Structure 1
């Protein structure tokens, strides 16, 4: 049998003993190479797994779409969430301020359209606060979600700015409306307090004039002091009422809405304080009158009580003309001078006295509750302007035109103070009684009028001078009036 001979005979492998040092070293090298390959493969696998898991955890790889959100988009989204929280806090504060106004005196007094506009603005702002509170960002958000979030916050930012503007405007308008309404309500109270104080002061002036020889000097001085206070408050009320009339008639844009609102607020505060002060001084006048009357001899007490009576018995008068409904007779009242005659030679009776038509009279500009004849009111207004330039306040008018019935209610034949109906220059619309310091001889106000009033057509008549038959520093009249009072 033939034996095949290989074309490329293998060289014999040198046989080594397994226990030889060389063989052992070769085996160890093979083992070490195998271990290194295994560790490298394991590290690659673990590295890939960690990177993938980290991406998912950080929101950089969408587990569904695989779209990774960039770190810049994620940061912008987080900033937008923080901004929405800031906007929410700001708008919530504006809402609370508006609610406080709405529930306060100005908001409750505001007219219905302004109240409804403020309510609507508050409701809209509250809804926007809720929307701002719903803005959130998930760590797993994508670029698409980040862009949508940024667009939503941009819209909310613009809406918040508009809501704040609307809320503030509605609040301001409601405040202005409420203050105007409150002022309208407060002014009649002030006018009423002024009327009551004037009535008490007029009675006090009569008592003061008639008690010179019967009352204690200290009591009359106390009465004089409180009557002066009443005159000062009356002047302040006149000035305030005039200012309020001007403010109410002015256009809303005259000085800007904020300035006008502050002006009305100032008037409102002053009106309340002044009305309270006038009521307090009225009580003091009545108390001082009672003290003076208590020192008058009994035989003169009836006369003095009649003089002071109108303030206490006003409710018994006819509301149309002020006459006493119980005592007035068909002849127009008792104890009046016969028609066509007056008790003093310097008094002049006229049939139209106390019966002037409304068209013949005009309101005194600085004291609109009083009237004088229309042809002399201009000079009186100019006199007051000069007086204001000198003393800083308007003159205080305590009495002006009187109707026949009003003069009749004041007249008492036992008293020299009030003239009979038909004989008083108050009935001609050409006489006024002035307070505020003028009602006392020798004061700076009285002396200034003595020196300057005639240039404007007004004088202090001879009968009212200190040496006259009836000294009355407060009585002033037009140069066109008869020499009477």
Structure 2
């Protein structure tokens, strides 16, 4: 029978104590061996504990340092990924602002070089945004991947700052150059409107002088009031032109001597207000010009002796009045001219009885130039053409002349000059022609060339007679494709 050897030998119980001396000595020897065995076991156990404790104290068995190192790398990588996302959002804000400028009035008016530079900066920024989108981190990534991400984000961070700086600088240049050109064009349009007003005022003042000794001249007081209004607007236009010139000089000087942001601030504070004032004033000048012309035409066309006759003619059918006396073929409205009713001096001119006698229901006000009218069925295309023009140049077209009544055309016609067609022969009298300023009045200007390339798509053209090689070169004269002739 097998017996188990106890780990700790048991001492004999008192009732098992040997009786002989030899037996007692043997028992004592066994007891001493047992005590030594127990102490050896205890010492081994205690020694192992001491060694184990020291090992843990030295970090030999403790996994904490390895876990701490891995956790730190993960935290750094995740923070870098968060930083990349923030940089991407900030760059997206810069891109949106720059794109808005490029598509706005300043961007549309800016020179091609500045626009292309901003386009390039936008492309660079968008590519960088894509790279930042790819800088992501997963907690399951390796330490090597974390190290690579930290290096990637460090590079992208520097690139993002450079891209944002380049984007802001390119945007600033577009704003400054675009506003400068918009201001120049607006002032050119204002000068043209002012010149047109002064021409009308000169004719009006002459009409007042000639009628000063007459009594009961229709609309004479209205003409005087319009002339007073014109004088006030002329003074306002002069003051605004001086302000614009000063602003342009200051902007040029600032750009040459001060940091870029100071020049942008100077432009940003002055130019928009000047543009707004110029637009309002140009409209007021055009409206007053039309009022002066209308009043002048009435005064010039009517004398006290003819007043009753004019009232009687107004009650007649316009076509009958325009047709004149069938026995003589003379047009009642062309007295004092060399034109016979039904004929025009140039082969490309067509006389019509309705010319200059359109009713108000046939006409429509030009939306962007109050006081000027064209035929109602062509005003829509003209308005759309102006929208495209304004998108390109940052300002609406300047209309110096549009529909003219028979009396107005008669007051402008000079048989010795080709500038104005005889009454009944001008497309202005059909409501299908306009005269444009704002740079268009010069062959080869950016505005003229743009209209040459784009106006026909909206139903408006520059007729052959008005071309540089035509019989009467007039860059400002444009007309609807529905015009019955080339004049």
TM-score bin, normalised by smaller chain: 0.3 to 0.5
- Normalising by structure 1, we get a TM-score of 0.47
- Normalising by structure 2, we get a TM-score of 0.47
More helix by proportion, 1 or 2?
Answer: 2
